[in-house]
Homo-oligomer: A and B are copies of this chain.
Amino acid sequence: MKKIDVCLTPELLHLYNIENSIVVVVDIFRATSCMTTAFAYGVEGIIPVATVEECNAFREKGYLAAAERNGITPEGFDFDNSPFSYMTDKVKDTTICVTTTNGTLAITKAKTAVKVMVGSFLNLGALTRYLTEQQYDVLVLCAGWKGKPNLEDTLFAGALIERLQEDFMVDDDSATMALRLYQNGKSDLLSFVSNSSHVRRLQRLGIQKDIAYCLQHDIFDVLPVLRGNTLVNM
């Protein structure tokens, strides 16, 4: 039987064997929710890069570019890290370069996997259908916050496990914990996450609307996957 595991932070990724797994990277607030939204609005490609400098270099070559550090957008970029900033015609058929505090690093670290995909509550249903049909194990890689686990990414892992548990074996305690937390919180995720450290950080930044948006399930039928250095919609 196929197996689904959860790696609660990229700091622990070296403990997992991902050569025969599809890795689903998740950074709910807000990198992977933004990416899912961008593809739903017609973006052709997203290039995740590790540093603001690299991102700037792409921007100078004419790409649209999005950067975020500690929840804030450095000056001169085309998008902030709000999913609403991608809901515009100007993204259609473009390739965007993106760097964020946690999410893009997680994508880069997972490159040796069979496939690296991007997950969010927004495309949970599409992911579920796709992963069910594949022959590979799945590892959900939570981007976390500066190396530490976080609540919202763990809850997403639990949501994906809940959907996949009939077809996948749940063997790992991190996966068991994620599933339990999601089942415990899913009836009111917004209030469940309102105690998370990151939500409190975001609320200080006035981004309540983003938080509620990113917790919506199954609204986009997109499957972002890494091809070479670029995420595309499969």
Interface residues of A (CB under 8 A from B): 8-9, 11-12, 15, 145-151, 154, 171-174, 176-177, 180-181, 184-185, 195-198
Contacts and interface: CB of A to CB of B under 8 A. Distances in A.
A176 B195 contact: yes
A194 to B, nearest CB: 11
B177 A154 contact: yes
Given A8-B8, A11-B11, A151 B171 contact: no
Contacts of A195: 176
A164 B160 CA distance: 33
Contacts of A174: 148-149
Contacts of A177: 149, 151, 154, 177, 181
Which label, helix, strand, loop or mixed, suits the secondary structure of the A interface? helix
Q: How many copies does the complex hold?
A: 2
A197 B184 contact: no
A38 B148 CA distance: 34
A172 B197 CA distance: 6
Given A149-B149, A150-B173, 15 more contacts: A8-B8, A8-B149, A11-B15, A12-B148, A149-B173, A151-B173, A151-B177, A171-B197, A173-B197, A173-B198, A176-B196, A176-B197, A177-B177, A181-B184, A184-B184
A176 B151 contact: yes
A174 B197 CA distance: 10
A202 to B, nearest CB: 13
A148 B176 contact: no
A113 to B, nearest CB: 18
Nearest to A171: B197
User: What 7 pairs across the A-B complex have the smallest Cβ distances?
Assistant: A151-B173, A150-B173, A15-B147, A184-B184, A173-B197, A149-B174, A173-B196
B173 A15 contact: no
A195 B173 CA distance: 8
10 contacts: A11-B11, A12-B12, A12-B148, A15-B147, A150-B173, A154-B177, A173-B198, A176-B196, A176-B197, A180-B181
Given A8-B8, A11-B11, A15-B11, A173 B148 contact: yes
